[in-house]
A and B are shown apart, each in its own frame.
Chain A
Amino acid sequence: MELPGLYNYWVVVFLMMAGFYVVISQGNLVKKLVGLGLFQASVFILYITVGKVSGGAAPIAVEGITSYSNPLPHVLILTAIVVGVATTAVGLALVVRIYEAYGSVEEDEIHAQDLVEDDISEDPPFTESEVGKQ
């Protein structure tokens, strides 16, 4: 009985950790955003699950129905979904501009280019560039 009752929560935890892991482990900025989206989506499911009353109907006033699901968390999460979409949009816009500026969306390549830039400001030649990439 425990497992099916908590099934949704297991899904939430799995998605959350998967998303979090992708954010941390991926060097590709677009993939990082995918992970971030997954991470946020898991929280949406958490809220939606919280509002569900087992055996409850949709919260519409109809005669003969006495048990309703709680609509508040569902409405709250609509706001959070909008926030999530906006975050992804801003993130992707940043990735586009990063690609224009660096010619890459790989974190380590961007970092290497930054290191090269730091070196130029101290000693002139480009010789450290290969060291920076490691």
Chain B
Amino acid sequence: MEHLPVLVVIIPLLTVPLCVLLDHPRLAWLAALASSWLSFAAAVGLVLQVSDTGPISYLLGSWEAPWGIEYRIDVLASYVLLIVTAMAALVLFAARESVRKDIPEARISRFYAAFMLAFAGLAGIVATGDAFNVFVFLEISSLATYALISMGKDRRALSAAFNYLVMGTIGATFILIGIGFLYMMTGTLNMADLAARLPEVADTRTVRAGFAFLAVGIGLKLALFPLHLWLPNAYAYAPCSVTAFLAATATKVAVYLLLRFMLQIFGLDFSLVLMPLDTLLLVLGLIGILSASMVAVYQGNIKRMFAYSSVAQIGYMVLGVGLATTTGITSAILHLFNHALMKGALFLALGGIAYRIGSTTIQDFSGLGRTMPWTMAGIVLGGLSLIGIPSTVGFISKWYLVLATLEEGLWPVALLVLIGSILAVVYIWKLVEAAYFGTPEGNPEIKEAPLSMLVPMWALVGANIYFGIHTDLSVGLASRAAAVLTGGAG
């Protein structure tokens, strides 16, 4: 049990060479699936252990903490690890059928290898307590992600992957520069040690420059509003299972990095009082919510529409962080969890539709309410959750967000959040209208998506409802994590 923090990362990492060596589509899939469920079990163990005994510190190779690399799992890290591993396990369950259709057979085993590499990288970012290690895992997951995106069928996937590679590398290099500046001033790379030593040297130009580099670098990875340009095409043209995984995890891990670096390492005093990060996040978050939702309304390709909607949802999370109160940060962490559930369900459902129809344009949706009732019902429920209808998870996170803005007396912000929800109604309605009131064109023999894709999708839809009613687990963990970040006892 004491090795759980490293097992979460090592299990998927070891599956990567295994998948390549097996070189057999079915065996590689089985290996990936098994290791993702093992990793998920380890994450569940970590959540239990952390809530039992408090933060876990794991010394890699038994080197003492500030010198060696430390894996540190606190409430927030265990929570995000749970999301990442659960999404990987569910998406891989659904992936087999859709991957068989999307990717040439000779490449399938290497596809799973890249998938597991991306997964291991994301889990590593969350588990590690070492700033330089973050950069290494970030690049591991990013490089694997570029390869995954480029495997999309459409040739535009290639240019989307290339653009993401250029922007992602700039972002990661900015993070590297930022970490270098912090190391220059403190001589340490351990996060807890950095947090302890930074206040002494906080008021220097080097630290402020490091902060700026880190903020921009993480903003790029996060797809924060003006830096989001890589995201829509990357999500739209990647294979469906990749989109579902990335939408549910990659940006969430970036939000985690934002919280970790800005609130814990730099500390609230530095990030929010000395540097105007709160105002910046508040304004960019709001612009992101409104502009991306508006663009989403006009998209003809539904995958692209939900990609823009993801940019908007990231705006909600960033807005919560920007409020900088315990309630605000709780709403951000809560939305991180809830958005993973919604977008996981929605993109898996789109994967089912792409599997049967081969495209995801709005025209192809006409009549789908009758030909693929279960898939469409899943999309409608996921969409309701995205809008924030009561008794879905979307409502819970919006509720906390609006509550946090009202606590601060920022009612215009609360109003804009609600306008964002109305825009979500508009683009979800477009889908519903096409699917249920449009007439099926030409192809009457479209069948329901295969069961292996429906089950994980409905598991997520069920989670959307379950956690919308039973909020103890998600809200409890989120508010405890937020209390730790804002310096409370937790």
Interface residues of chain A, those whose CB is within 8 Å of chain B, are 20, 23, 29, 32, 36, 39-40, 43, 46-47, 50, 73, 76, 79-80, 83, 86-87, 90-91, 94-95, 97-98, 101-102, 110-111, 114, 117, 121
CB-based contact B176/A80 at 8 Å: yes
- With contact pairs A50-B183, A50-B184, A90-B165 given, residues A101 and B173 touching in the complex (Cβ less than 8 Å): no
CB-based contact A87/B161 at 8 Å: no
CA–CA, A32 and B180, complex, Å: 25
CB-based contact B143/A87 at 8 Å: yes
CB-based contact B183/A95 at 8 Å: no
B155-185 near A? 1/0 per residue, CB < 8 Å: 1101101100110011011001100100110
Q: Which of A36, A50, A95 contacts B169 (CB 8 A)?
A: A36
Please, which residue of chain B has its CB at the minimum distance from the CB of A16?
A: B177
Rank and list the top 6 A-B pairs by shortest CB-CB distance, nearest first.
A101-B155, A83-B139, A98-B158, A94-B162, A87-B169, A97-B158
B230 CB-CB contact with A under 8 Å: no
Specify which chain A residues have a CB less than 8 angstroms from the CB of B139 in the assembled complex.
Answer: 83, 86-87
CB-based contact B135/A91 at 8 Å: no
Q: Which of A32, A43, A110 contacts B177 (CB 8 A)?
A: A43
CA–CA, A40 and B173, complex, Å: 7
CB-based contact B169/A101 at 8 Å: no
- 27 A–B pairs (Cβ distance < 8 Å), ordered by A: A20-B170, A23-B170, A39-B170, A40-B169, A43-B176, A43-B180, A46-B177, A50-B180, A50-B183, A73-B180, A79-B136, A80-B135, A83-B136, A87-B139, A90-B143, A90-B146, A94-B146, A94-B158, A94-B161, A95-B162, A97-B158, A98-B158, A98-B162, A101-B158, A110-B159, A111-B159, A117-B156
CB-based contact B162/A29 at 8 Å: yes
Specify which chain B residues have a CB less than 8 angstroms from the CB of A80 in the assembled complex.
Answer: 135, 176
B400 CB-CB contact with A under 8 Å: no
CB-based contact B162/A91 at 8 Å: yes
CB-based contact B132/A91 at 8 Å: no
Q: Which of B136, B158, B173 contacts A43 (CB 8 A)?
A: B173
Q: Determine chain A's interface SS by DSSP, over half rule.
A: helix
Interface residues of chain B, those whose CB is within 8 Å of chain A, are 132, 135-136, 139, 143, 146-147, 150, 155-156, 158-159, 161-162, 165-166, 169-170, 172-173, 176-177, 180, 183-184, 361
CA–CA, A92 and B177, complex, Å: 24
CB-based contact A102/B146 at 8 Å: no
CA–CA, A45 and B32, complex, Å: 39
Closest beta carbon of chain A to B168's beta carbon, Å: 9
Specify which chain A residues have a CB less than 8 angstroms from the CB of B146 in the assembled complex.
Answer: 90, 94
CB-based contact B180/A46 at 8 Å: yes
CA–CA, A39 and B169, complex, Å: 10
Specify which chain A residues have a CB less than 8 angstroms from the CB of B135 in the assembled complex.
Answer: 80, 83
Please, which residue of chain A has its CB at the minimum distance from the CB of B363?
A: A121
Q: Which of A76, A87, A101 contacts B132 (CB 8 A)?
A: A76
- With contact pairs A23-B166, A50-B183 given, residues A114 and B177 touching in the complex (Cβ less than 8 Å): no
Closest beta carbon of chain B to A17's beta carbon, Å: 13
Closest beta carbon of chain A to B163's beta carbon, Å: 9
Specify which chain B residues have a CB less than 8 angstroms from the CB of A36 in the assembled complex.
Answer: 166, 169-170
Specify which chain A residues have a CB less than 8 angstroms from the CB of B183 in the assembled complex.
Answer: 50, 73
CA–CA, A1 and B273, complex, Å: 36
Specify which chain A residues have a CB less than 8 angstroms from the CB of B143 in the assembled complex.
Answer: 83, 86-87, 90
CB-based contact B156/A94 at 8 Å: no
CA–CA, A29 and B162, complex, Å: 9
Specify which chain B residues have a CB less than 8 angstroms from the CB of A94 in the assembled complex.
Answer: 146, 150, 158, 161-162, 165
CA–CA, A98 and B163, complex, Å: 12
Please, which residue of chain A has its CB at the minimum distance from the CB of B139?
A: A83
Closest beta carbon of chain A to B226's beta carbon, Å: 15
Specify which chain B residues have a CB less than 8 angstroms from the CB of A46 in the assembled complex.
Answer: 177, 180
Please, which residue of chain B has its CB at the minimum distance from the CB of A70?
A: B187
CB-based contact B150/A87 at 8 Å: no
Specify which chain A residues have a CB less than 8 angstroms from the CB of B165 in the assembled complex.
Answer: 87, 90-91, 94
